[in-house]
Chain A
Amino acid sequence: MKQTKSIKEKLAKGMRIRRSVFAYPYVLWMAVFILAPMLLILYYAFTNDGGITVENIVQAASWDNLKVLIDSVRFALYTTILCLLLGYPVAYLLSQMKKTSAALLSVFFIVPMWMNFLLRTYAWKVLLSAFTKILYTESAVLLGMVYNFLPFMILPIYTTLIKLDKSYIEAAADLGANPAKTFLKVVFPLSMPGIISGVTMVFIPSTTTFAISQLLGGGKTMLYGDLIYMKFITEQSWSTGSALSIILLAFVLISMTFMKKAERTTSDEGGGRLW
């Protein structure tokens, strides 16, 4: 009896080890394609001709470069606000629909995501030049960004709303709230986790975006992503590029901390966090 038990235990132990084996390919992937590049960036940012230095960082933190960062944040804020204003009503309507019609409609938001975003942006370039006069303006850049990031706002909000227990809505109505009051006092506050997920998923990538501004802004609008791209590719100045990347990374980490804080203060009941 005792022996069979110990064999079982050994087997269980063996199973545990064997299961973690499946993670090895990804660990390898992470080491080669995520960890190594990060280390390289760190290396380039803090070395100069083999010696350790902070000179690159000091240079990268110049006023001209910071102005580009501020501009990027401004664009990211506009994008986030527009995505929220457009996305929340869509997510709400989808969540109120029958499952089948909601699935059908959400295809319209998801299918464009199956195409590469560069391709979509090129399509906008053609459309804007053919039908409007806004190509190569800030409006065009903003339009491109909102278009590309909108699904990332809709989906987390939709998920939170769909998971929202219907009995909260019934309880509000039961206590005398008409549909508008029910939305303001119950549905909207309870969808906060989804909003925060959506804001995170739009704000962070749009701060670091590039290419959209080049394609639709015609080089007139320089975003931080474009700046890094330019340093690496055009000027081949890997040290400056890496230093700029470090500054951006620091900024992203700080913003993420704020979002997490905001998330912790809102309840995560009624809908799951996605991010």
Chain B
Amino acid sequence: MKDKHLIELIDVSKLYGGDVALSHVDLYIKDGEFLTLLGPSGCGKTTMLRLIAGFIMPDEGRIEMDGVDIANTPPYLRRVNTVFQKYALFPHLNVADNIAFGLKLKNVDKETIKQKVDAMLELVNLKGYGSRYVEQLSGGQQQRVAIARALVNEPQVLLLDEPLGALDLKLRKEMQVELKNMQQRLGITFIYVTHDQEEALTMSDTIVVLKDGVIQQIGTPTDIYNEPKNPFVADFIGESNIIPGIMLQDYKVRMNGVVYDCVDKGFGKNTEVDVVVRPEDIDIVPAEGARVFGKAVSVVFMGVHYEVDVDCGGYEWVIQTTDFVERGQVVGISIPPDAIHIMKKTQQTNLFDAVAYPEDGEIELLDHRFACNGLESFETKDDVLVAIAPVDVQLIPPEESGLTGVVRACMFLGTHYEVTIGCGEEDWIAYSPEYMESGEEIGISVAADKIAVSANEAN
């Protein structure tokens, strides 16, 4: 792998009908690397790929290839080729003509085309399939034709949009290995989009984790797995225990009332942090003499290992172990220092624009009036900025509240769930002791003394 930056995205933003698909993204892609864009649906990964392919143009920012801005270059002039999610093979052409499509456009002579197509068919293990039509091929074969059709043009970059999504598990695993081999043999840069974290970990040199159009973390698979930067990455990449803790000093962290040794430092003293512990890194030890112990409340056989939930009073640890544990048994747990990964606490506050009505002691926020203290210094109808801590957002039945929203996401943070609630254009972050289904309607209420009001300096 050379260290040259082949493609660079500089402060790129893209909106779709007012919704942010990508927000101020900066990313460089090195020549010859296998880079994976990973994230849940709607995170912006496909948008990013389509921007690089040229099917869409960014609203802001530059996309550079070899130092030249190509943000407004049409796709047919770019030296990139795409393997589409549903392959998009031309149904009116046979396999050979599909592969030859790009070469014919470049007026390559017939003999060369034939040679190159044959070589490609051999590369993707489809020798002798040239005269078949696309509909006569299986999903896996179509997949290979799609790859051959793109690669025959010898692109500098191959873009792959969830190319294995339609294949069954076994075929997918085989193709993962094959794609990786192909990429290494040809030395072409691959940009690969997937929502499958395992696929990303297996194949990539670099993984870019995206959420809501924002890059969460860029790193090697090992980095991303072992040192997730925030609870979202930890949760998305593999199973994990995410638990709030307090960093007492360097190398000492307190979780669920117990002080553990760890290998992290530099967070300061008595700092609130989030801690990630992978289930396979926790050891089950005899309860006698163990510092931490609890009851195994669930034991599930997973094939290679058992997944055991151990309730240690206040926190339920998920543990993967090859040792059998009886359900209901009291076991001790031990967490080695290097299994503890400390993350900076992501402080989230709800910030909204609102209008002040001091005479009523209220603010108007999202077309709803909230009683509020501390409005004395404002005039009627002043624009104000309000801040509400997630912990102060009370979730109540929708019929009891004037302001209702819909649950968009719910993530377990060790002791509570972090719930994202969509109310019209604004999202609220709240904490909930229970899991909430996405799509559930919920009412929102905030006590008058929990709303912090300040002048809105933007206006």
Contacts and interface: CB of A to CB of B under 8 A. Distances in A.
Q: Which of A171, A173, A266 has the most CB of B within 10 A?
A: A171
Contacts of A171: 82, 84, 88-90
Interface string B58-101: 00000000000000001110001110111011111000000001
Given A170-B75, A173-B55, 5 more contacts: A171-B84, A171-B90, A173-B54, A266-B92, A267-B135
Contacts of A175: 76, 81, 101-102, 105, 149-150, 153
A74 B264 CA distance: 88
Interface in A210-236: none
B53 interface: yes
B2 interface: no
Interface of A is mostly: helix
B170 interface: no
Interface in A165-201: 165, 167-168, 170-178, 181, 185-186, 189-190, 192
B76 A177 contact: yes
Contacts of B89: 171
Interface residues of B, number: 26
B91 A269 contact: yes
A266 B133 CA distance: 12
Contacts of A170: 53, 55, 75, 82, 84, 88
Interface string A220-258: 000000000000000000000000000000000000000
Interface of B: 53-55, 74-76, 80-82, 84-86, 88-92, 101-102, 105-106, 133, 135, 149-150, 153
B74 A177 contact: no
A151 B90 CA distance: 29
Nearest to B82: A174
7 contacts: A171-B88, A172-B90, A174-B80, A175-B81, A175-B149, A186-B90, A270-B92
Contacts of A167: 84-86, 88
A175 B77 CA distance: 9
A269 B150 CA distance: 21
A118 to B, nearest CB: 41
Contacts of A168: 88, 90
Contacts of B54: 173
Contacts of B82: 170-171, 174
Interface of A: 165, 167-168, 170-178, 181, 185-186, 189-190, 192, 266-267, 269-270
Given A181-B105, A269-B135, A174 B90 contact: no
Contacts of B101: 172, 175, 177, 185
A267 B55 contact: no
Q: Which of A172, A175, A266 has the most CB of B within 10 A?
A: A175
Nearest to B159: A174
Given A167-B86, A174-B82, A176-B153, A190 B76 contact: no
Contacts of A178: 74, 76
A110 to B, nearest CB: 29
Q: Sort A-B residue pairs by CB-CB distance and give the 8 closest, nearest first.
A: A269-B91, A175-B102, A167-B88, A171-B88, A173-B75, A176-B105, A189-B92, A267-B91
A174 B149 CA distance: 11
Given A173-B55, A173-B74, A270 B91 contact: yes
A173 B92 CA distance: 17
Q: Which of B101, B133, B153 has the most CB of A within 10 A?
A: B101
A165 B88 contact: yes
A173 B85 CA distance: 16
A185 B54 CA distance: 20
A186 to B, nearest CB: 6
